[in-house]
Structure 1
Amino acid sequence: MPRQLCIHGHFYQPPREDPWMGEIFPEDSAAPSLNWNQRITRESYAPLAWARRIDSEGCIADIMNCYEWISFNAGPTLLAWMERNEPTTYRRILEADGISSARWGHGNAMAQAYHHTILPLASAQDKKLEIAWARADFRTRFGREPEGMWLAECAADIPTLEELASQGIRFTILSPHQASFVADKGDDDWQAVHGGAIDISIPYDIELPSGKTIAVFFYNGPISQAVAFERLLQDGEAFWQKLNHAAGTGLLTVCTDGETYGHHFTFGEMALAYTLGQAISGRDNTRLTNYATYLAQNPPTRKVRIHEPSSWSCAHGVERWKSNCGCTDGGHPTWNQEWRGPLREALDLMKRAVDMHTEKTGKTLFKNTETALAAYGDILSNGTTREAFSDAYFLPALSAAEQRKAWQLLAMQEQSLAAYASCAWFFDEISRIEPINGMTYALRAMEILKATGGPEIEKEFAAVLEKAQSNKPEEGNGRTIFEQQVLPRRETKASIILQAMLRLWAEKRLPCPNIKNTVQWPNITVTILPTDAAGGSLSGEARMRWFNEPDSPPVLWEWTPPKAGAINESCITLQGTDNFSQTFRYADLPRNKRQAIAMRAMEVANIQRLDAYEEDAANAVALFEPWVEAQHDQPLGHNWKANAPALAVAYMKHPNLTDNQRRQIAKYLTDCGLLICGGREIITNWLTMRLLRFIESAASSGTKDAEQQLERAASIVERARTLLPHPDLWAAQNRLWEIGFRTPAARKFAKAISFRV
């Protein structure tokens, strides 16, 4: 009988989006990427979707979508970001679940508690919402109900498991150290479990007070630890041997963070792909499976009780998320975490006020507040329309103002729950980005609370935070962090309209008077209508529409645009009724939002440069005269150096260079320092763009045209390699693998970009 192997990846990033705009603004520590979601996607999530299997000569023998063969859960907030920003990887993840469902009858994907909240510390209502919203998100994305759900940090207690079972979740995964007693089903001869010494090769039932049961799998702790922390992924064969020696009858399951493969250990996805390939081939009589499939084939014959509350990453239950229990990442052994208690106390103060206001006000807006809240997950995941939702859950005949308030209450609840993402407490310092993000979501919730007629509680919130002392003397305490790093993030009408104008300016699309233009973020759309331009300023009106809310009344504005070298002086002034006036300057924006404007301006400038290089490339080669004896530079060589990228583009595009021209241009481009100060990135970006264009053209062309396109692509790659010995061909390789390479030209191109042909 084959041995069964299930490798599980936990794919999660905390919510990072600005709660007003719905966009992740630049995060310095993730540089050169824009933010940590982007960086880890490029280092782990995308490589797992396109994992290379390399032959002995270093050529690509195969590309594997690892998601087709591993069990995985992906956080709803991560998938929502990925859908907007990394659609190709997102598509591969969804496809993988469909393929595994067809193969085994049960898909690889599991759901995950929506905001990665520590559910044993959540109220009964919040447990229900985190699970219901996760199920709704899963249905929308994967087209089926989830069978299993990953609990944040494997944190569990009986009320949490009871809520999972009541919502139709069949199983979850825990650490073996969370087991306390085991017995055969139908027998009450309970045997104590010491130090995680439990048979992990079988699933267990947990009997619940309601009479329901939920199944639980326990992962192999030592191997999971070795994968995550002991560099087991340096060698795919060593990984396989480790698994093979541990496997016996029944199921062997290994669980790690998905970031382990690539982000923590470079090329870890290749070690995983190798290991999966061994199991797919049936080596050592081992077969891959997933939890739902194994559970269907092997219903539990034993039952288990767990330590409660308990988790995988805290030896003290769930104290890591509320007290100074001593559990940290170990980065600063002398620091304390006394701040954890006041942070949770402050958030709990906010949440009680939000819940009381929702209960009181919701009676005048919803048919049933609890039902509407539970169903709001369909809105968050775009699983239903705004109109269908309001028809189903709002009281009939609400005015526009009342409908606006109803949507605001729902958004307030979502923001308040986002504040509880587990990462806010996981590490060792309150001034880290994770606690700051948690406080930011709380601020937005308190802002909506006040705007919808609830109490103003910011002062009480800050007073509780004052008890949270930072380990860094310069940071002060939670109150100073809140006031200096969180409050400046708050948006106003003026700050939002200023950012809209600066985006238009950065993108070089400022509208003329009486011409509308729109700037859109995930949470808000701003429509700009200039009406007058005089004296170096621009004036007009703006309309703002928040996610799921009707348009706001128009706002009159006057904008002072940036002047050369003096962008800090750019400001917006709003005018309203009753002599209302509000001014906001570029310098008043928080750092990450100023960076977003700067990066957009640089991005547009680089696109224009690439376009200019493309135009200049046509003449660059013809104008480059071969050198004569004793010549070592071009006349007025500084001008040639300034336009070296155009010459490089021409060199790669031009198919008819003589050997002498090719040799001299390549030497010149290398000697002039083209590959320093961004030249490599310029060439790589152009090459990627051009190759993808060739591949798409070939995919949609007739046979003869396709062959010509791919012939040209192969010759460009050959020339590019003389400038860049190891060009980044990752995106082109992925796309060619998808469309295949069966024709002679396609095989030639495939060989040029490192495939084994």
Structure 2
Amino acid sequence: MKNLIIHGHFYQPFRENPYLEEIPLEEGAHPFEDWNERIYRECYLPVAYAHYREDGTTKDIINGYKHLSFNMGWTLTHWLEKKHPELLEKVKEGREHTLASTFNHTILPLDPLEDREVQIVWGIRAYERFFGRKPLGFWLPELAVDYETLRLLKKHGIEFVILAPHQVKGNAKYLWVEDLAVFVYDGELSHGVSFGELLVSAERLHQLMKSKEPPVVIATDGETFGHHKKFGELALAYLFKKYPDDFTTLEDYYRARKPNQRGELVPYTSWSCVHGIERWRSNCGCSAGGLPGWHQKWRAPLREGLENLRSMVKEKAYSILEKYLREPKLALLDYVDVILENYSQSAKEDFLRKHAKRRLSAKEIVEVFKSLSAIKYMHFAFSSDGWFFADISGIETVKNLLFAKRAIDLLELEDGEKVLKEYLQEAPSNVLAYGNGLGVWEKLVKPQVYEPKTIAKTAVFLHLLEEKTLGRWEYEVQEKEEGFSVKLKDPETEETFSFEIEWEELNLEEVPDRFLGRILKSWMESFEEGYLSFLSDYMYLLEEVAYYSKSKNFEFLEDVKGHTELLLKLKLKELLVKDKDVKAIKELFNRAQQLGLDLKAHRLAKHFVELCIIKLEEGEEEELLEIVELIKDYNTKVGRFELMIDLWEVQNRVWERRHSIRNKRIFELLNLQPYATE
């Protein structure tokens, strides 16, 4: 009987800057641009392509989402839809095993009841849009729970949840609590997977699970598989491949059998704080990161300040909405449909047709959507991450405060900012450079606030590069003799702006870092193209000088090598990206080898992989074989892992097309078994 269950809680906070709806560069995520990108590559993608290996050969590639019980809420699915839509179908293959969750991961027992209901309803609507079905199960953020929360879940059609052992009084692992079925996860095994070494031996983990009374449920952060625990997805591949008849999911188990015992809830508890839910409102001692001796005395004043601001935002927003909408609180529940459609014109028109008292003017429409957006951002300001870690200066807390600032600005709520700053002044930081929350506000939050004119200047730079996107902003730039005329529109609020910008006003220091990177990259590509074009006639001469000088000690040799390496590297990049000429790439590699030059090919790894995939999709098996052979030979010669070109993504794409590939040598080179047992 299938009674072993692994549940993954996949979650990332909403990281986008609310003034732009783009994630800023996050240095801690290096070599990736931000944490979402890093965790995507280390976890979300590997879980979809978990390699089952025997004797060094990949004999199957398992989509973990098809076998896991899991939840993945809007803040992550929204980002994936924008940045990595290719992964979505792999995730959706597990739609029948998924649980819903709240919209942006607030601690429900600490939310006012009406905000709690918004989080639940918005979360369920987002789930229905993404997975195309109604959810039966629900993941409570941090598993924080009380009786009112369970009643709200029941009201909105939820039938089961999962909780930790210390959150339920009862003699069973599967029981009824408040008319909801509750799965109680195994604390010992879950802790061993999350924080111990149980993923090192999947066989041992399976034995331990089998030794327990069913149902055996392991619950852990989904990011455990590959991000927190490197190569953790390989354990999933082993378990699901070797023991398919042992594993099921929470929903399948629930559909097959209902609990036969009752239990009692231990309210105001969570899975990650032994003090209940104090981690999100007091200096209870539970934290992550930081240094010895650090405190979290900042938590209470932060929450109190944000709670006061939340009340002020809702009071002003509802006073505006009541003028224009029939039932503002019901309208707020439906506003999620506008969010889910990325503030499309049609979604906003549908919303107003349903809820407006009358036909509204353009100015009144702006007032409505600014008010609704302000309430939304106050929800974001209470994302649990803001209290989870060691200091008020952490990236997550700063983001929550930035959402609060956006709500303040939308409603022009100067008194609200004054009140919040008074509380922040009483929130001590462990970092002397900030002193307290007010220092964090001034030094870390306010520099991320972008005025419309700054956005307009950024639009000019992007226009000059023929770029078309600037976060969520729509823009139109017209060039004039003395400068530029810029029109902006914010689809979120329907606000429009017009600016006349002179050349002298343009300053790269004002450009948000995400867009600055795009501008500088474009400039660099322009330089590379010009450099290669200008010196291409001298390439043969440089190669000749380099060849005849390589065994000599001429004083100019280093300069010659530097110029030749750069030229050949730029030519290699051109061949990979534009020409896609495999024969020419091989010849260039051979020339570089003869000259004793280092092309630093690992820096072009992305382009090598993309070329492999292009040749695969075009059905050019011989050229694919040649480029893979070239990469394998290069990897052997460099010998160091960090300098190698990773062919993992090529393996995955070849695996998906394995039935149409005739040349078995491709499988051999990629350490794949051509025909797996399926």
TM-score (norm 1): 0.81
Q: Partners in 2 of 1:541 and 1:279 — Cα distance?
A: 65
- Report SS of the residue matched to 1:169: coil
- Report SS of the residue matched to 2:391: coil
Residue in structure 2 matched with residue 52 of structure 1 by the alignment: 51
The yes-or-no answer on 1:464 pairing with 2:390 is no
Report Cα offsets for 1:383-418 as digits up to 9, x if no partner: 972221221122221111111111111111110100
- After superposition, residues 197-208 of structure 1 pair within 5 angstroms as 198-200=171-173, 203-207=174-178
Is 2:572–2:585's contact at 8 Å kept on the other side of the alignment? no
Q: Partners in 2 of 1:341 and 1:528 — Cα distance?
A: 47
Residue in structure 1 matched with residue 227 of structure 2 by the alignment: 263
Change over 3 Å in CA distance of 1:241–1:599 after alignment to 2: farther
- Report SS of the residue matched to 1:724: helix
Residue in structure 1 matched with residue 334 of structure 2 by the alignment: 375
Report Cα offsets for 1:8-49 as digits up to 9, x if no partner: 000111111101111111011111111111111110111001
- Report SS of the residue matched to 1:756: coil
Size of the alignment, in residue pairs? 655
The yes-or-no answer on 1:738 pairing with 2:664 is no
Change over 3 Å in CA distance of 1:268–1:666 after alignment to 2: farther
- From 608, 625, 628, give the equivalent of 1:714: 625
Is 2:381–2:400's contact at 8 Å kept on the other side of the alignment? yes
Is 2:462–2:468's contact at 8 Å kept on the other side of the alignment? no
- After superposition, residues 469-488 of structure 1 pair within 5 angstroms as 469-488=428-447
Residue in structure 2 matched with residue 754 of structure 1 by the alignment: 671
Q: Partners in 1 of 2:100 and 2:530 — Cα distance?
A: 44
The yes-or-no answer on 1:692 pairing with 2:613 is yes
Report Cα offsets for 1:113-160 as digits up to 9, x if no partner: 111000000001100100111011111111111111111100000111
- From 172, 186, 194, give the equivalent of 1:220: 186
Residue in structure 1 matched with residue 639 of structure 2 by the alignment: none
AA matched with 2:233: E
AA matched with 1:501: V
Q: Partners in 2 of 1:617 and 1:140 — Cα distance?
A: 53
Is 2:582–2:623's contact at 8 Å kept on the other side of the alignment? no
Q: Partners in 1 of 2:76 and 2:593 — Cα distance?
A: 45
- From 601, 604, 608, give the equivalent of 2:520: 601
Residue in structure 1 matched with residue 357 of structure 2 by the alignment: 395
The yes-or-no answer on 1:73 pairing with 2:68 is no
Is 1:349–1:461's contact at 8 Å kept on the other side of the alignment? yes
Is 2:382–2:400's contact at 8 Å kept on the other side of the alignment? yes
Is 2:22–2:514's contact at 8 Å kept on the other side of the alignment? no
Q: Partners in 1 of 2:659 and 2:451 — Cα distance?
A: 54
Change over 3 Å in CA distance of 1:638–1:120 after alignment to 2: closer
Moved more, 638-647 or 152-161: 638-647
Moved more, 352-361 or 168-177: 352-361
- After superposition, residues 349-498 of structure 1 pair within 5 angstroms as 349-382=308-341, 385-450=347-412, 456-498=415-457
- After superposition, residues 4-403 of structure 1 pair within 5 angstroms as 4-56=3-55, 58-97=56-95, 107-179=96-168, 181-182=169-170, 198-200=171-173, 203-207=174-178, 213-246=179-212, 248=213, 250-280=214-244, 282=245, 286=246, 288-329=247-288, 331-382=290-341, 385-403=347-365
AA matched with 2:631: A
AA matched with 2:98: A
Q: Partners in 2 of 1:611 and 1:4 — Cα distance?
A: 64
Is 1:204–1:301's contact at 8 Å kept on the other side of the alignment? yes
Is 1:502–1:597's contact at 8 Å kept on the other side of the alignment? no
Q: Partners in 1 of 2:616 and 2:524 — Cα distance?
A: 26
Report Cα offsets for 1:312-346 as digits up to 9, x if no partner: 11111111100111111264341111110000011
- After superposition, residues 566-581 of structure 1 pair within 5 angstroms as 571-572=505-506
Q: Partners in 2 of 1:622 and 1:59 — Cα distance?
A: 46
Residue in structure 1 matched with residue 566 of structure 2 by the alignment: 642
- Report SS of the residue matched to 1:468: coil
Q: Partners in 1 of 2:531 and 2:667 — Cα distance?
A: 30
Q: Partners in 1 of 2:138 and 2:611 — Cα distance?
A: 43
Is 1:140–1:382's contact at 8 Å kept on the other side of the alignment? no
Change over 3 Å in CA distance of 1:640–1:291 after alignment to 2: same
- Report SS of the residue matched to 2:358: coil
Change over 3 Å in CA distance of 1:330–1:438 after alignment to 2: closer
Q: Partners in 1 of 2:476 and 2:539 — Cα distance?
A: 43
Q: Partners in 1 of 2:630 and 2:468 — Cα distance?
A: 42
Change over 3 Å in CA distance of 1:613–1:87 after alignment to 2: farther
Change over 3 Å in CA distance of 1:309–1:123 after alignment to 2: same
In the TM superposition, what is the alpha-carbon distance from 1:628 to its structure 2 partner?
8.7
AA matched with 1:231: E
Residue in structure 1 matched with residue 476 of structure 2 by the alignment: 527
Change over 3 Å in CA distance of 1:603–1:78 after alignment to 2: farther
Q: Partners in 1 of 2:529 and 2:131 — Cα distance?
A: 39
Is 2:109–2:145's contact at 8 Å kept on the other side of the alignment? yes
In the TM superposition, what is the alpha-carbon distance from 1:432 to its structure 2 partner?
0.8
- Report SS of the residue matched to 1:53: strand
- Report SS of the residue matched to 2:383: coil
Q: Partners in 1 of 2:617 and 2:313 — Cα distance?
A: 51
- Report SS of the residue matched to 1:457: helix
Change over 3 Å in CA distance of 1:423–1:607 after alignment to 2: farther
Q: Partners in 2 of 1:540 and 1:90 — Cα distance?
A: 40
In the TM superposition, what is the alpha-carbon distance from 1:696 to its structure 2 partner?
2.0
Note the residue ranges of structure 1 that are not aligned, 5 or more in a row.
98-106, 183-197, 208-212, 510-516, 534-538, 561-570, 573-584, 699-708
Report Cα offsets for 1:472-500 as digits up to 9, x if no partner: 22211111211221122222121111222
Residue in structure 2 matched with residue 632 of structure 1 by the alignment: 551
Q: Partners in 1 of 2:666 and 2:31 — Cα distance?
A: 31
Report Cα offsets for 1:85-124 as digits up to 9, x if no partner: 1112223112332xxxxxxxxx111111111000000001
AA matched with 1:261: F
AA matched with 1:87: P
- Report SS of the residue matched to 1:597: helix
In the TM superposition, what is the alpha-carbon distance from 1:440 to its structure 2 partner?
0.5
Change over 3 Å in CA distance of 1:654–1:255 after alignment to 2: closer
Residue in structure 2 matched with residue 702 of structure 1 by the alignment: none
Residue in structure 1 matched with residue 641 of structure 2 by the alignment: none
Is 2:18–2:403's contact at 8 Å kept on the other side of the alignment? yes
Q: Partners in 1 of 2:534 and 2:204 — Cα distance?
A: 52
In the TM superposition, what is the alpha-carbon distance from 1:625 to its structure 2 partner?
6.8
TM-score (norm 2): 0.90
The two structures, once aligned, show a CA RMSD in angstroms of 3.0
Change over 3 Å in CA distance of 1:389–1:61 after alignment to 2: same
How many percent identity over aligned positions? 29
Note the residue ranges of structure 2 that are not aligned, 5 or more in a row.
637-643
